[in-house]
Amino acid sequence: MTTAAPVPSASSASSASSSSSPASPSSPSPSAPAPSPGTGAGAGAHRLRPRRSCLAVPGSNPRFLEKAQGLPADQVFLDLEDACAPLAKEGARHTIVDALNQGDWSGKTRVVRVNDWTTHWTYRDVVTVVEGAGANLDCVMLPKVQSAEQVVALDLLLTQIEKTMGFEVGRIGIEAQIENAAGLVAVDAIAAASPRLETIVFGPADFMASINMKSLVVGRQPPGYPADAYHYILMRILMAARTHDVQAIDGPFLQIRDVDAFREVAGRSAALGFDGKWVLHPGQIEAANEIYSPAQEDYDHAEMILDAYAWCTSEAGGAKGSAMLGDEMIDEASRKMALVVAGKGRAAGMTRTTSFTPPEA
């Protein structure tokens, strides 16, 4: 399996060429925070990865860890938090290290979710996993993030381990999971806390409990509310993510056998602009990959816009700022929107079915 190309976000699209792939990862984003002390040039080097489907796998279950390697999820996160019983956590750390070092995770983003900073497990989770398998790890997911300082603390710990072990400093990314009201209120600061940050993840179950939402079905609309109860939460996360050029990931849908309901819930966050969603069962992966990829018609149209705009702004095309593509006028704003859709299509491995032919003079 080949690794898909990075996915550009809307905020990075404005600086990219209309006829090229997304901007080089080494180019700093205008909105990105300054690197924290001790964080090296590798920070953020692979921040925009395909994450349409993010598969949760219990870190204490070797059979599930082996099976996950052959599934078509963009990302797999090996879980030391909720999926591991307290008595199983210490052994699960070593099971995860072995799986990362010995398994074949080709084409997948490899993530480990550690326990949150309010527990006594966090530092040992990070030290054991990163020292043991840091060369084969892409990101550490931190759950229940409530402040920027918690992200900074993880950044500093990762930096110390990388320096001690001789790893590239800053290469390992961070995923921050928002799971309560305090985290949502602080989400802007959290998104800006570290150049390692790659994603902001919505954790619906704990969030629903934190605000006393009247529902026991994670992801479903609570009874008695006539609109989308999650709209503000999702948009708040999305705005913080786009402001700081990181990805926004929707959380799990626990009714794992109801794929139609999964599609409905995933479709809402995908329509807003989210980059992907957690999946808890192999049966949800195909749906997530489809929903968070552009339709073939949209992908073809986006590529056509990029080609047409590149031609019309060139000397051969008359160096114009706008042009007609069929019955549609396109300009720089059209290019920015098309670059996002085209980038997602390329990341999904889509092949265009149309080509642009410059109009005759």
User: Mean pLDDT over residues 110-127, rounded?
Assistant: 98
271 CB-near residues (< 8 Å, 6+ apart): none
Question: Phi-psi category of 313—alpha, beta or left, where left has phi over 0 and alpha has psi -120 to 50?
Answer: alpha
Mean pLDDT score of the chain: 87
Contacts of 123 (CB under 8 A, 6+ apart): 157
Q: Render pLDDT for 197-225 as a digit per residue (tens, 0 to 9).
A: 999 999 999 999 999 998 777 878 888 88
pLDDT tens-digit series, residues 257-310: 999 999 999 999 999 999 999 999 999 999 999 999 999 999 999 999 999 999
At 361, the pLDDT band (50, 70, 90 cuts) reads: low
Q: Which residues contact 15 (CB under 8 A, 6 or more apart)?
A: 23, 27, 30
User: pLDDT tens, 155-192?
Assistant: 999 999 999 999 999 999 999 999 999 999 999 999 99
Give the closest residue to 285 by CA, choosing from 267, 317, 262, 319.
262
Query: Residue 166 is encoded by which pair of tokens?
Result: 């001789």
CA distance 248 to 271: 12
The model carries a pTM of 0.83
| Cβ–Cβ under 8 Å, residues 66 and 292 | no
Structure tokens at 138: 């892409």
Tokens standing for residue 74: 């963009």
- pLDDT tens digit sequence for 36-53: 333 443 444 446 789 999
- Residues 74 and 71: their CA atoms lie apart, in Å, by 9
CA dist., res. 323 & res. 14, Å (int): 18
Is the pLDDT confidence value at 314 over 70? yes
Pairwise CA distance, residues 310 & 304, whole Å: 10
Give Cα 72 to chain centroid, integer Å.
Answer: 16
So what's the pLDDT on residue 323? 83
